[in-house]
Amino acid sequence: MNRIKVNLEKKQSKSYDIYIGQDILDRAGLLLAKNNWAARYIIVTDSNVETLHGNRVLENLRGMGIKTDMISFPAGEASKTMATALGVVERLTELGADRTSALIALGGGVVGDLTGFVASLYMRGIPCVQIPTTLLAQVDSSIGGKTGIDLPVGKNFLGTFCQPKGVFIDLAFLETLAPREFGNGLAEIVKYGVIDDAELLDSLEREIGTLRGDRKLLERIISKACRIKKGIVEIDETEKGLRRILNFGHTIGHAVEAESKYALSHGEAVAIGMTAAVLLSEKLKYLLTEDRERVVSLIGAAGLPGRIPPGMSTDGILSRTKQDKKKAGATVHFVLLKKPGMPFVNGGVPEDLVREVVEEMKR
């Protein structure tokens, strides 16, 4: 089992470990018992993960003498709402959860974000443990403490920072992932290579087609992605500076995702957003054409889209970018690229150029 420490030096009580390996649930249970984070645990999951893995995880923990219960809600982005969060809170009170309890987020990004959100608020805050079951959650949303729910105005518009007590990444969960869901995680891994790590970028260009079938390679790539994410979080825990580069592809990506009414998955939307970001970078004379082509080629090799559905409203997309929660006043911030490994935040992209790129990507 590979162990990576997220070292939040300003407040050591917030530091935690990421554990990565194959079939590590037994060891996860041992660590829960050893660390004594709570007197009892409540697993929060969605209807899909409950069917696939919920009872197995529940019985595993109970079999180790850990007092554990489980709550589930309907799967999908449509459940990432205040109504669902309040429903989870109601179930927690029915189960008698108190400040000696902790939540276990068992699922993908929606489960992790919503569970962390509830944990940060329930009785002014109780511990949370992340057990991500999708590739996207394993390399991204389970690490860093961001939580959130969606509002009609935008994705993750209401949220908190709530660092988990630990993250347990079991590659065995990935065996049940549909190809589309696996591709969602690849989008974030591609992002890490493009913005931070030349070695990872080179490796993905050589091996992305064999990644899913090679467990040793997959563990190495996931570990590399987690190290990149944790390194950025350690420097900028609450996204005041450097951590903003992790939003590469997300400004237009989130807008397209919401405009599609979430018919596009998060990874597909981020892939589209990354394509838009490198096109903007090229048109603004920051990025060489050959580097833009390299990024777009890798997105395609990952089986991810690089085009916006032609029927989608350009005005709708632009309107949603103006509602982006990372904007400052009327200024919309884009993470652009000077070259692979050199991202920067630019708030001066002309709206007519954004419109031009969106229209170009619909053709």
Annotated catalytic residue 165: no
Q: Is 40 in the active site?
A: no
Q: Are residues 11 and 150 in the same domain?
A: yes
Residue among 50, 77, 181, 188 flagged as catalytic = 188
Same domain for 288 and 170, yes or no, is no
In a domain, 154, yes or no: yes
Catalytic residue among 229, 230, 244, 292: 229
User: Is residue 294 located within the same domain as residue 167?
Assistant: no
The total number of residues shown for the chain amounts to 363
Can you give the pLDDT at residue 236? Answer: 87
pLDDT score, position 12: 58
Per-residue pLDDT of the chain (363 residues; tens, 9 = 90+): 899 999 987 665 789 999 999 999 999 999 999 999 999 999 999 999 999 999 999 999 999 999 999 999 999 999 999 999 999 999 999 999 999 999 999 999 999 999 999 999 999 999 999 999 999 999 999 999 999 999 988 888 899 999 999 999 999 999 999 999 999 999 999 999 999 999 999 999 999 999 999 999 999 999 999 999 999 999 888 887 888 899 999 999 999 999 999 999 999 999 999 999 999 999 999 999 999 999 999 999 999 999 999 999 999 999 999 877 666 666 788 999 999 999 999 878 999 999 999 999 998
Of the residues 80, 266, 292, 320, only one is catalytic, namely 266
259 touches 313 (CB < 8 A):
yes
Please check whether residue 16 is in contact with residue 6, taking contact to mean a CB–CB distance below 8 angstroms: yes
Same domain, 14 and 159: yes
Whether 205 maps to a domain, the answer reads no
Whether residue 19 sits in one domain with residue 166: yes
Q: Is residue 187 part of a domain?
A: no
**Has residue 196 been placed in a domain?**
no
Q: What is the CATH number of the domain that holds 71?
A: 3.40.50.1970
247 and 349 together in one domain: yes
By residue range, what is the domain housing residue 129?
2-177
| In-domain check, residue 214 | no
Q: Is 53 a catalytic residue?
A: no
Q: Is 250 a catalytic residue?
A: yes
124 catalytic, yes or no? yes
Number of domains the chain is built from? 2
Q: Which of 177, 197, 229 is where one domain is finished?
A: 177
Token pair for 268: 């597909």
Same-domain pairing of 18 and 159: yes
Catalytic member of 10, 34, 124, 216: 124
- Annotated active-site residue 322? The verdict is no
- Kindly state whether residues 146 and 247 are assigned to the same domain: no
Domain end among 146, 177, 208 = 177
CATH number at residue 290: 1.20.1090.10
- Nearest of 238, 295, 273 to residue 357 by alpha carbon: 273
The burial class, CB within 10 Å (0-12 / 13-18 / 19+), for 205 is middle
Q: Is the domain of 246 the same as that of 172?
A: no
Catalytic residue among 80, 227, 243, 244: 243
Catalytic entry in 80, 146, 230, 333: 146
Q: Catalytic annotation on 234? A: no
Q: Is residue 184 in a domain?
A: no
- For the question of residue 188 being annotated catalytic, the response is yes
Of the listed 48, 156, 184, 247, which one is catalytic?
A: 247
In a domain, 158, yes or no: yes
Catalytic residue among 212, 250, 292, 333: 250
Does the active-site annotation cover 239? Answer: yes
Taking the C-alpha atoms of residue 1 and residue 186, their distance in angstroms, rounded to an integer, is: 22
Q: Are residues 305 and 159 in the same domain?
A: no
Question: Which of 161, 177, 193 lies at the terminal end of a domain, its last residue?
Answer: 177
Q: What is the pTM of this model?
A: 0.92
Is 307 assigned a catalytic role?
no
161 and 294 in one domain? no
255 shares its domain with 128: no
pLDDT for 11 equals 60
How high is the pLDDT of residue 50? 97
CB 40 within 8 A of CB 101: yes
- Is residue 188 in a domain? no
Catalytic residue among 205, 207, 219, 239: 239
Q: What is the pLDDT of residue 10?
A: 67
